[in-house]
Amino acid sequence: MTQSIEDHAATATDAHFDIVHTVAEDEIDAQQHVHNLRYVQWTLWAAGRHTESIGWDAKAALARGLGWVVREHSIQYRGAALAGNEIIVRTWVHDLQRFASRRKYLICRPADRTVLAKVETRWVFVDLNRHKALPIPDEAKQHLVICPTPPPLPWEPARSQRDA
């Protein structure tokens, strides 16, 4: 059975957040690579852990009938993940608008320095009881660090080191 995200390592900077995951056998499809829906699951795990790590209390918001919902996913598959591969899902908040936020992700296999997928999700802040988009409240905005420029790949040095 696939491990839950709580079993995975996570690292964060002000600009991005990483989860490390080892692909389990039950994530493999009939074509002998990771099923496409797992990539979506990994991005949801990363987004949830990232917002939690920067202080957003999703459970408290949910109790008030508020939350983030996915409006749109876009995935560009570039390579196949296989059972036993260690992957890194790197995520960052690309921009923030009145009602929505765009989050980007890289799903990478560091062993051979391969970007397996580039993903983008448009998240909308909503009143979950009325099913209506709301302006993103200040309490949510204060937790988000906007990173319009993609962070370095996991195997590249941090920009501050590279630019020094």
Q: What is the pLDDT of residues 9-26, one digit of tens each?
A: 666 566 899 999 999 999
Lowest mean pLDDT among 54-58, 60-64, 112-116: 54-58
Domain ranges of the chain: 9-151
Model confidence pLDDT, tens digit, residues 67-109: 999 999 999 999 999 999 999 999 999 999 999 999 999 999 9
pLDDT of residue 85: 98
* DSSP-derived 3-state class of residue 137: coil
pLDDT of residue 161: 43
Span 9-151: which CATH code?
3.10.129.10
Whole-model pTM: value is 0.87
**What are the CB-based long-range contacts (under 8 Å, 24+) for 60-68?**
61/140, 62/128, 65/127, 65/128, 65/129, 66/125, 66/126, 66/127, 66/128, 66/134, 66/137, 67/125, 67/126, 67/128, 68/101, 68/123, 68/124, 68/125, 68/126
Would you say residue 135 has pLDDT above 70?
yes
Which comes out higher in pLDDT, residue 126 or 160?
126
